[in-house]
Amino acid sequence: MSLITGFLFVVIAPLVGGLLSGIDRKLTARMQGRIGPPLLQPFYDVEKLFQKENLVARHTQNLYMEFFFVMTIFTGALFFSGGDLLLVIFSLTLAGVFFALGGYKASSPYSFIGAQRETLQMMAYEPAVLLVAVGMYMVTKSFQVADIIAYPKPLILDLPGFFLAFFFILAIKFRKSPFDLSTSHHAHQELVKGITTEFSGRTLALIEIAHWYEYVFVLGIGYLFFAWNMWIGLVVTFFLFELIIIIDNAAARVRWQWMVGGAWIIALIAGMGNILYLMLRH
């Protein structure tokens, strides 16, 4: 079953992620008083990118992005096959490192600055992600995703602080306002795309598909808080995604100091407070 679910993630996740990206564009357009593109526009864009010429400043920059693509798929497959959550987080970090290295390698000041900001974003969300894994272990006594999903009670009741910290970093991981410092998925933010400025053609298409995989995987972590009931979990997870889109269109970009400081403070207060609560309860 673990192999089957991992394979299903590899096949289905880009379809779901692409649809979520289309919903994002459509809802964003409606909030701005526009009709917006078709729901399937992200797929049309990726198809067109595969047909374009792949221009590069340095050939090794594409190699790093290909590693990012592969590690993102591996991370999600490991998660959805019920693997070790700590190994999943390590793999997620490694994928982010390859993404940043690709930006550093490209000969562009915009890409270099975007890579620096991507590194800062990783520094901001990593502590909260690790604390979420620790909190789930304290309740379920296991780091295995399969055991966490099988836990008979809603984890949100025992881990409200961890959920708050996780929700705070969702916008960072999705690269949405107010934390879209490294790159933006919408043209309304800036003309230069930050870390992805120097990428085109097939490589840019792979980056976009990797982000679709990230959508599904990161939302899967949020699903764990409500996994005791599959339908409630799916509805709440989709609502979280919609709420992030609303915040994206309602908030202005903040400075990186506020992003890192805010993420760490929330993780420290909410996460450590929740750990203290669990320790005193037992």
CB atoms within 10 A of CB 28: 18
Interatomic CA distance for residues 4 and 25, integer angstroms: 31
Percent of the chain with pLDDT over 70: 96
In this prediction, residue 19 has a pLDDT band, given cuts at 50, 70 and 90, of very high
List the domain range (segments joined by +) for residue 148. Answer: 2-281
What pLDDT does residue 48 have?
93
Res. 77: pLDDT tops 60:
yes
Classify the C-alpha dihedral 23-203-192-182 as positive or negative.
Answer: positive
Query: Can you give the pTM of this predicted structure?
Result: 0.90
Distance CA 128, CA 167 (A): 10
Q: How far is CA 27 from CA 56, 67, 172, 241, 261, in A?
A: 33, 32, 19, 11, 30
CA distances from 226 to 72, 155, 172 (A): 24, 6, 22
Straight-line distance from the first to the last Cα atom of the chain, in angstroms, rounded to the nearest whole number = 34
107: left (phi over 0), alpha (psi -120 to 50) or beta: beta
DSSP strands (E only) in the chain = none
Give the whole-angstrom CA distance, residue 22 versus residue 15. 11
Which amino acid, residue 35? I
Question: Residue 81 has what DSSP assignment?
Answer: T
In which band, very low, low, confident or very high, does the pLDDT at 72 lie, cut at 50, 70 and 90?
Answer: very high
pLDDT, tens digit (0-9, with 9 covering 90-100), for 96-141: 999 999 888 877 888 888 888 889 899 999 999 999 999 999 999 9
Number of domains in the chain: 1
Residue 223's CB is within 10 A of a number of other CB atoms, namely: 19
Residue 269 tokens read as 């207060």
